[in-house]
Structure 1
């Protein structure tokens, strides 16, 4: 049986080749179209609605009013408390130190002429007795000599002859009488010396003072002029304050017994608001070695607060002294923070704009500056800025602290960022939803 062979006509083969060609072309076109769309999507950024930035608010500043008229600077300095009178009490005679009195303890206050310590007085009592005996012997010899003189005068008058003055003095025993009188005087001086030495065996306070230290102990053998106790006068202390020399022109330093300017003293160790009062006493002639500053002595009475409830001043304390300066007319006082670039100040105008004024500085302190009212373009009605500004320029708008309009502007500035932030968050979300 003859095999059956498949037969395809030339027309069918041509049709099949045509279909394959068009399918490949369609696939390439689809890929190209997809790549084009993807590139377009990647090259286009998301569209977000942009809003113009709100105008930046004017800076908020604090202002003060100038102080005019008779004004004075605030003069301050630090000083060290020193003793006005400090004494090492010494024995005037030698001997064994027997006892100290009960009040002769460190930190105790003793009154003037109070007994502090006692030396062994046995030898000095014997010396007094010996001096008394010598005086009695001299007085007796003087009495005998006076009797001899009476007898010699009687013999001379009975002789009946006139002698020269020199021979008559010898006959009347006048030299012997003077010698006996001199012996009595010498014996009296020796007795007074012995009694004085006996009294000096008791050591007494030279003035009202506080005992600082015992320098020797009971039972010690001491000689004359050996220091026994250290005392400090409690009547008043000095405060040695260092100040620049140019500040002395503002102070009343006093003359003679007239006290100078008042001084307020404070210490870091005292409670807040507690202070002591003092007075400027004098200005020392020498300058401080380290800083070449003038040294002012301030007197403080009753420094240990023995008669009042004020805090006590201790020797060696470091205190802050604020001096009462003498006011002067024709000046303007401002806080030191208000001074810019050495000789300029910032002023807020009536329409709250910045103005820069040049001033003439008379005194510059840590807390206060004084300006010459005639040479400075300021008056008591102007508002001087004490706040710092990053970029200060003439005519820039300001907001004055404490002003009602300023409070409203602050509230508006507080609300605006929250509204803007909400709209910015909403716009991207809407864009994402649309895409």
Structure 2
């Protein structure tokens, strides 16, 4: 006969083994996790150098450069001013009795063309009076010459020795000189009267454009009064300012017939697209511009209103500001590079063997558009034209064709 099992005696033993089993299981889980992590890192595939280069090479555009002879330009701004300007003034007084139609602001007048006429009656009368006085003086001179001849005959008949001083008195030499002087004075008075009469006609001293008129028909004018303003239409000047550092690159017209730097003028907002005017750099003004502290130069433009040789070209307007490109002295054996390809601290990015090279360059001259490189670049160098966010010397580069070739290779491997 079996004995009954005491359940209360068994339960306390199970309670003691439970915590040990939990700790053991947790420890095993941690060990297995660590082993799995170590295995993952140990068996991770590593990328080869060629694959990394293909994926990280920067796509760029390049342009080849060439050394050669170039003529740089200096770009400046200038104001159109007259090369020849006068203010007409009256040299006689009187009433304006005639006014030419051409004597109107904006119109052109020929050299010698009559613009105004002052009432000449008074000056004609004065001239007639002076001519009469001249005739009278000449008559008196003839009379005195006759009296001198009579006196000489009488002196010869006497045959006496007379001192030289007394001879002059006897022969009436002082009276003769006095008569001659009166003739000269009368002739000068006639000439003066003729000038005054001629000055009643106001004429243009050279081919000109009328800028202003200050009198009208019937006006009373006095000597020295301003009548109007004229400017010559044969030449205009463009007065421009140039940085002092660029003066050595410019050639001025030192003498008539000597060469001078050619200049191209632009007036982008006024002239039709593509139209320009030509001029010459003629003179360096020996004074700095007081505002900009730059050198003042004069550019001469022939036929500025396009009336003769420059017919069909846009006319220049006095007082306007135009842009001028002055041809500088020629640069030999240099590289011409677009200004935006010149990087910080006068460096240039160049592609060498599909790698980025940062070149230090020496700049001979630079303007708004180009930089002319003396040293640092050679013919055939490939200058990078792409703006890169990250620039590291030796970084790998690729061109558009290289990218397409890499993609084709990867497609072949996938197949």
Measured against the shorter chain, the TM-score band is 0.7 to 0.9
CA–CA separation in structure 2 for the residues paired with 1:56 and 1:290:
56
2:239, 2:297 within 8 Å by CA — same for their partners in 1?
yes
- In structure 2, runs of 5+ residues without a counterpart are 1-51
Matching of residues 133-282 of structure 1 within 5 Å: 133-257=132-256, 258-268=258-268, 269-282=270-283
2:72, 2:331 within 8 Å by CA — same for their partners in 1?
no
Residues 146, 72 of structure 1: CA spacing in aligned structure 2 closer, same or farther, 3 A cutoff?
A: closer
CA–CA separation in structure 2 for the residues paired with 1:363 and 1:139:
77
Partner of 1:104: 103
Structure 1, 357-366 or 163-172: larger mean CA deviation: 357-366
1:74, 1:367 within 8 Å by CA — same for their partners in 2?
no
CA–CA separation in structure 1 for the residues paired with 2:379 and 2:336:
10
State the Cα distance separating 1:57 from its structure 2 match: 6.7
CA–CA separation in structure 2 for the residues paired with 1:350 and 1:218:
85
1:80, 1:240 within 8 Å by CA — same for their partners in 2?
yes
Q: Does 1:306 align with 2:303?
A: no
CA–CA separation in structure 2 for the residues paired with 1:412 and 1:202:
94
Q: Does 1:346 align with 2:345?
A: no
State the Cα distance separating 1:406 from its structure 2 match: 4.2
Query: Normalization by structure 1: what TM-score?
Result: 0.76
Residues 72, 227 of structure 1: CA spacing in aligned structure 2 closer, same or farther, 3 A cutoff?
A: same
State the Cα distance separating 1:139 from its structure 2 match: 1.8
2:75, 2:323 within 8 Å by CA — same for their partners in 1?
yes
Partner of 1:49: none
Partner of 1:120: 119
2:88, 2:230 within 8 Å by CA — same for their partners in 1?
yes
SS at match of 1:75: strand
State the Cα distance separating 1:361 from its structure 2 match: 2.5
SS at match of 1:138: helix
1:250, 1:325 within 8 Å by CA — same for their partners in 2?
yes
Matching of residues 86-101 of structure 1 within 5 Å: 86-101=85-100
Larger Rg: 1
1:252, 1:325 within 8 Å by CA — same for their partners in 2?
yes
Partner of 2:296: 295
Residues 143, 72 of structure 1: CA spacing in aligned structure 2 closer, same or farther, 3 A cutoff?
A: closer
- In structure 1, runs of 5+ residues without a counterpart are 1-53, 416-435
Q: Does 1:404 align with 2:401?
A: yes
CA deviations on 1:303-353 (whole Å, 9 max, x unpaired) are 1101111110111121111122222223222111111212211112233x3
1:372 aligned to which of 354, 371, 374: 374
SS at match of 2:259: coil
CA–CA separation in structure 2 for the residues paired with 1:324 and 1:407:
44
CA–CA separation in structure 1 for the residues paired with 2:123 and 2:243:
58
SS at match of 1:311: coil
Structure 1, 282-291 or 140-149: larger mean CA deviation: 140-149
SS at match of 1:157: helix
SS at match of 1:103: coil
Q: Kindly report the root-mean-square deviation, in angstroms, between the aligned alpha carbons of the 2 structures.
A: 2.4
Residues 408, 273 of structure 1: CA spacing in aligned structure 2 closer, same or farther, 3 A cutoff?
A: farther
Matching of residues 3-22 of structure 1 within 5 Å: none
CA deviations on 1:222-243 (whole Å, 9 max, x unpaired) are 1112121211011111111211
CA deviations on 1:236-271 (whole Å, 9 max, x unpaired) are 111112111221222222321213111111112111
Residues 197, 410 of structure 1: CA spacing in aligned structure 2 closer, same or farther, 3 A cutoff?
A: farther
CA deviations on 1:32-70 (whole Å, 9 max, x unpaired) are xxxxxxxxxxxxxxxxxxxxxx99775443322223122
CA–CA separation in structure 1 for the residues paired with 2:222 and 2:77:
43
CA–CA separation in structure 2 for the residues paired with 1:407 and 1:218:
85
2:209, 2:232 within 8 Å by CA — same for their partners in 1?
yes
Partner of 1:382: 381
CA deviations on 1:84-128 (whole Å, 9 max, x unpaired) are 110011111121222211222222222222111100111100101
2:71, 2:328 within 8 Å by CA — same for their partners in 1?
yes
SS at match of 1:192: helix
Partner of 1:132: 131
CA–CA separation in structure 2 for the residues paired with 1:281 and 1:273:
25
State the Cα distance separating 1:275 from its structure 2 match: 0.7
Partner of 1:391: 390
2:66, 2:380 within 8 Å by CA — same for their partners in 1?
no
SS at match of 1:149: helix
Partner of 1:39: none
Residues 149, 346 of structure 1: CA spacing in aligned structure 2 closer, same or farther, 3 A cutoff?
A: same
Partner of 2:48: none
